[in-house]
Amino acid sequence: MECPKEPLESQCSLSEIDDFDLTRALDKPRLKIERKRSFDERSMSELSTGYSRHELDMAHSPGSRSFVDTPLSYVRNSFEPHPMVAEAWEALRRSMVFFRGQPVGTIAAYDHASEEVLNYDQVFVRDFVPSALAFLMNGEPDIVKNFLLKTLQLQGWEKRVDRFKLGEGVMPASFKVLHDPVRKTDTIAADFGETAIGRVAPVDSGFWWIILLRAYTKSTGDLTLSETPECQRGIRLILSLCLSEGFDTFPTLLCADGCSMVDRRMGVYGYPIEIQALFFMALKSALSMLKHDEEGREFIEKIVKRLHALSFHMRNYFWLDFQQLNDIYRYKTEEYSHTAVNKFNVMPDSIPDWVFDFMPLRGGYFVGNVSPARMDFRWFSLGNCVAILSSLATPDQSMAIMDLLEHRWEELVGEMPLKICYPCIESHEWRIVTGCDPKNTRWSYHNGGSWPVLLWMLTAACIKTGRPQIARRAIDLIESRLHRDCWPEYYDGKLGRYVGKQARKYQTWSIAGYLVAKMMLEDPSHIGMISLEEDKQMNPVIKRSASWTC
């Protein structure tokens, strides 16, 4: 979630907002369209590894509830649910935020023990995603629809940082509902980065919004929301920020530090894997929802071209396995012309020592960043999991990522899933890269901390690759500690053994991430909400680097 912010100033009363009438939106008729049972092009039989026939037969129709322990979810229960599940649902519902009497999201944390609320009482776009998925999987789509409409309305606000106006398509990082008991009115306060530490706009918010809109559509079969002129325009505005022509020579997006989940200075400026994977997933999600009218066709054409270029670039230049590492180790430098193999002029001496021992013979991953003369070899969990879910990773690459997780379980999972990145940076490098950030000390927070929320992405990736046993092992670790520790935001230490030194308790996305993981394992058809299948036309032959001679 975002760093603590100054008091919000971007406020607007209901009388001043040209607001969507959420009540009217909810009254729109739904199209009863049968939801596809998981993947668009693969049969459930391909997921049979690790599942019984009974488990795979439990695909549900749109609007049905999962059989985790909620008041209306005991149907189809074939085993006693873990006691944590009921308490997780209670905590999740306690975090709900209401606007004009209707639920519009969940706050970031419900920690009464903390003296400072800071910005943890706000609804964050990225933080709400696992909450939204939990509600969708439990047959409660209204809060998700309200959230999508409310953030879409906020997108239309004028956004300024000092005297500079932000792009029209920028989605808020967060918003807060302020209740006036005297006037009996509600006020919205939104943050687009203008009050965040570092003043960085959230690049990932727009991508998550598009991804969540598709998840809502897939879960409910309700096409009326995504096909409204407002949603179609919102999608186009987000895409216009990313697909505009400029000085770029790469199809990846150039970003500042702190523009995503890693929201503080951590050396991820440039072309971070998290943003590229979310960008790819958002493009594919938008492609499935845009209308083929005059405006839509223009963007569809741009999306198709960008997806081809982006998939080629990422699969070639961001992918690292044992053979590729050996190739880079033997790179020639200062190459010129179109025949250059070391196209980014990466210096072999810049390869950190740890990666040689870390890389197994079987396995691989997408590195953290690639730009001229720079390759960030760190592992980032979110980017690699999203790469699997979006099919940015090829089937072979997806399996290699899972192989790496199994080979390096102690380093990447340890005693609490899941390391946000590996390894940490420390000593002189920490001082230079983070600016001596006291929150991102070694093996803490975004510098190698362990984040329980990442469990749902890991579980989804495990199911998609037919490796549910990995997810079960991770969930067992979560269930041994998370509830006892009061659902903390993150854990510290090389193995993730200690509750984070500044971690908030009752962190909503830690709670929701656990629920989503449990529901997906119990009913793997849920993965259809957030899994995208590979486009065979985007699968060019990828040749190994040949910068070394035998």
**Residue 352 confidence (pLDDT) above 90:** yes
Separation CA 50–CA 471 (nearest Å): 11
Per the domain annotation, does 487 fall within a domain? yes
**Residue 12 confidence (pLDDT) above 60:** no
| 323: confidence class by pLDDT, cuts 50, 70, 90 | very high
- Of 332, 371, 376, 384, residue with least CA distance to 351: 376
Per the domain annotation, does 200 fall within a domain? yes
**Residue 37 confidence (pLDDT) above 60:** no
Per the domain annotation, does 171 fall within a domain? yes
How many residues are given for the chain?
550
Per the domain annotation, does 78 fall within a domain? no
Phi/psi region, residue 267 (left: phi>0; alpha: psi -120 to 50; beta: rest), is left
Per the domain annotation, does 316 fall within a domain? yes
Note the pLDDT tens digit of each residue in 251-307: 999 999 999 999 999 999 999 999 999 999 999 999 999 999 999 999 999 999 999
What pLDDT, on a 0 to 100 scale, did the predictor assign at position 482? 97
**Residue 67 confidence (pLDDT) above 60:** no
Separation CA 94–CA 494 (nearest Å): 32
| 51: confidence class by pLDDT, cuts 50, 70, 90 | low
Say whether 401 sits in a helix, a strand or coil: helix
Say whether 376 sits in a helix, a strand or coil: strand
Q: How far is CA 523 from the centre of its chain?
A: 21
Per the domain annotation, does 237 fall within a domain? yes
What pLDDT, on a 0 to 100 scale, did the predictor assign at position 159? 85
Query: pLDDT > 70: what percent of the chain?
Result: 82
What pLDDT, on a 0 to 100 scale, did the predictor assign at position 327? 96
What pLDDT, on a 0 to 100 scale, did the predictor assign at position 539? 59
Average pLDDT for 125-129: 98
Q: What is the CATH number of the domain that holds 387?
A: 1.50.10.10
Q: For residue 444, how many other CB atoms are within 10 A of its CB?
A: 23
Average pLDDT for 389-395: 98
> What is the number of domains present in the chain?
1
Note the pLDDT tens digit of each residue in 153-197: 999 998 888 888 899 999 999 999 999 999 989 999 999 988 877
Which residue did the predictor score with more confidence, 376 or 165?
376
- Mean residue pLDDT of the chain comes to 86
**Residue 335 confidence (pLDDT) above 60:** yes
| 115: confidence class by pLDDT, cuts 50, 70, 90 | low
| 534: confidence class by pLDDT, cuts 50, 70, 90 | confident
Note the pLDDT tens digit of each residue in 399-437: 999 999 999 999 999 999 999 999 999 999 999 999 999
CB-based contact 153:17 (threshold 8 Å): yes
**Residue 8 confidence (pLDDT) above 70:** no
Structural domain that includes position 444: 83-529
**Residue 540 confidence (pLDDT) above 80:** no
| 81: confidence class by pLDDT, cuts 50, 70, 90 | confident
DSSP category for residue 166: P
Per the domain annotation, does 314 fall within a domain? yes
Q: What are phi and psi of 124, to 5 degrees?
A: -95, 140
Query: pLDDT > 90: what percent of the chain?
Result: 74
Say whether 106 sits in a helix, a strand or coil: strand
Calculate the alpha carbon distances from 504 to 105, 116, 252, 537 in Å.
19, 10, 34, 45
CB-based contact 197:189 (threshold 8 Å): no
Average pLDDT for 4-15: 41
| 538: confidence class by pLDDT, cuts 50, 70, 90 | low
Per the domain annotation, does 7 fall within a domain? no
CB-based contact 1:127 (threshold 8 Å): yes
Average pLDDT for 109-133: 88
Note the pLDDT tens digit of each residue in 452-498: 999 999 999 999 999 999 999 999 999 999 999 999 999 999 999 99
What pLDDT, on a 0 to 100 scale, did the predictor assign at position 379? 98
What pLDDT, on a 0 to 100 scale, did the predictor assign at position 198? 73
What pLDDT, on a 0 to 100 scale, did the predictor assign at position 280? 98
Say whether 507 sits in a helix, a strand or coil: strand
- For residue 37, the number of C-alpha atoms closer than 13 Å in the C-beta half-sphere is 11
Average pLDDT for 5-23: 42
**Residue 117 confidence (pLDDT) above 80:** no
Average pLDDT for 117-133: 94
What pLDDT, on a 0 to 100 scale, did the predictor assign at position 74? 35
**Residue 119 confidence (pLDDT) above 70:** yes
Which residue did the predictor score with more confidence, 226 or 18?
226
| Spatial CB neighbours of 424, under 8 Å, sequence gap ≥ 6 | 430, 442, 443, 444, 447, 448
